[in-house]
Amino acid sequence: MPKQTPLKFSWDTEKAARNEEKYGVSFEEAKSIFNDKKAMYFDDAAHSQKEKREIVIGRAPASRRHLACIFTRESGSIRIIAARLATHRERQAYKDNSDEKTKVIYQIK
């Protein structure tokens, strides 16, 4: 089996501190969901005017919490922009792993 290249992460430390204070989710915890084999990825077209943003919904292994993480890909690394607890609909979509249900989540806005 081929060896996976470790993911590289970056973020603004001040933004990370504000995010943890506001949402109770650290970027360190958020980066762990990128290793979740069941994680679901979506384009965040509604917030991609300046840069292409994506959303990943997954489960953090240590806390077992379902998280949503907004990120962008930059120079071979993942730059985390924000992280929060997944909404009820996002958790349900993750559990169902149904593409049709997950599409509805981000068309609401």
**Overall CATH class of domain 9-105:** alpha beta
Q: Which range, of 34-38, 84-88, 95-99, averages the lowest pLDDT?
A: 95-99
Structural domain boundaries of the chain?
Answer: 9-105
Q: What is the rounded average pLDDT for all residues in the chain? A: 86
**For the chain, how many residues are written?**
109
In terms of DSSP H, where are the helices of the chain?
13-23, 27-31, 88-96, 99-105
Q: Which of 20-34, 37-51, 79-93 is predicted least confidently?
A: 37-51
Residue 2 has what pLDDT? Answer: 57
Range with lowest mean pLDDT among 3-12, 20-29, 56-65, 97-106: 97-106
pLDDT band at 105; cut points 50, 70, 90: very low
